[in-house]
Amino acid sequence: MQKLEQTFRWFGPKDEVTLAAIKQTGATGIVTALHDIPCGEIWPEEQIRERKQTIATAGLTWSVIESINIHESIKTGAADRDHWIEKYITSLKNAAACGLKTVCYNFMPVLDWTRTDLDFRLDNDASALRYDATALAAFELFILKRENVEAEFNETEKRAAENYFRKLSPEEKQTLQQTIMAGLPGTDEVFTPDEFKVHLKKYEHVDASGLRENLAYFLQAIIPAAEAVGIKMCIHPDDPPFPILGLPRVVCNAEDLEYIVNAAPSPSNGITFCTGSLGANKANDLPAMLKQFGPHIHFLHLRNVKREPNGSFYEAEHLDGDNDMVSVMEQVILEQQRRLAEGREDVSIPMRPDHGHKILDDKNYNTYPGYSVIGRLKGLAELRGLELGLRKYLISSTGQRGNSH
């Protein structure tokens, strides 16, 4: 039985979630990056090998790089973007020389994933991540105060944001600011509003169309090099999957993904299918998207969200949110069956449980937001059981069922 490769994200030697702890979860693969290397700079082969050896010594495999981050000059289409693209290609070649073959990345401007609350308490007192549309509007209108921001909200939204902001203490306002302005995962970088406005200035002439063109330019430059060394690139969807903070988003739905895979057709130009990011938009039909883009999916982030009518959402239990994880997993297994029938080598798709709750002893550790060990272990166990049960069901069911997909 060809199962998914079970992986766990690790943020390196400073991560309080140790490799020894990860090994006890049952995961065999590690998803990590050289977070100490500045964005855009070349990953030295020696450092890649050293990190890979550290992981191997713990009895695990470095399965996926997440992420080799993309310099902002590439995203904005600046005059020096080719310089940074060449550095990116060198990092890919160095990674391939060390036997690493899957690279997850994103094309979100300035910030990575964005939340407004990193300690949202559920009924059972577990701690989850939350995106509150009203809280973000309050930040935009009364803290960031970017130019012409009022025009982006209707009167109801502005009143709600003002009422929300008035109730915040000075400490809560500071926490909100720091939560939204956090930089890249694995770093301690937090922008000030003034620093963020400097970055916004670089995007004043880059709308969604321009950002999409810059992404295509990047892909057309790097994908031939990636294919030559056997690397599979897999873009992560935007999180949340809609424009925020005056910045465009271009990896949000099926139309965006179709544009991306067609921008540089190649087995090396693929997708990280994140059910949480895509699932935050109720218009996205995740099982249908898995069926449509299955051959291009090189990596899976499996998590769930509970959506609210105004665009807010929080991270739910892995099997108990608004996303139909049973149908998602079924489509993943059917895609593996198709690959097996086609004789493809990449049948065991790496999968990791994403953004676990803080539960039990997790609260005693200072882990990166969303990356507790027990909460993710719980998610991995649930996903592992779901996968095993569905595989046995699909094997025992009639051939007509498999053909119906």
Catalytic status, residue 318:
no
Edge-to-edge strand list for the sheet holding 313-316: 117-121, 127-131, 313-316, 304-307
Contact 383, 355 (CB under 8 A): no
Catalytic site includes residue 236 = yes
CA angle 193, 74, 198 (to 5 degrees): 20
Q: Please, are residues 69 and 39 in contact by the beta-carbon 8 Å criterion?
A: yes
Among 71, 296, 355, 357, the active-site one is 355
Q: Nearest Cα to 115, choosing from 355, 298, 345, 324?
A: 355
Q: Which of 274, 296, 314, 362 is catalytic?
A: 274
Q: Which of 71, 354, 357, 362 is catalytic?
A: 354
Q: How far is it, in rounded angstroms, from Cα 133 to Cα 223?
A: 36
User: Is 109 strand, coil or helix?
Assistant: coil
Structure tokens at 186: 């694995």
| Alpha-carbon span 353 to 23, nearest angstrom | 14
What does the longest C-alpha to C-alpha distance in the chain come to? 62
Task: Catalytic residue, from 88, 105, 164, 371: name it.
Answer: 371
Residue 354 falls in the annotated catalytic set: yes
The one catalytic residue in 301, 318, 357, 362 is 301
d(CA 322, CA 306): 5
Return d(Cα 278, Cα 298) in angstroms, integer: 16
Is 301 a known active-site residue? Answer: yes
Which residue matches tokens 């991995």? 380
Of 71, 236, 296, 357, the active-site residue reads 236
Please give the positions annotated as active site: 236, 274, 301, 354-355, 371
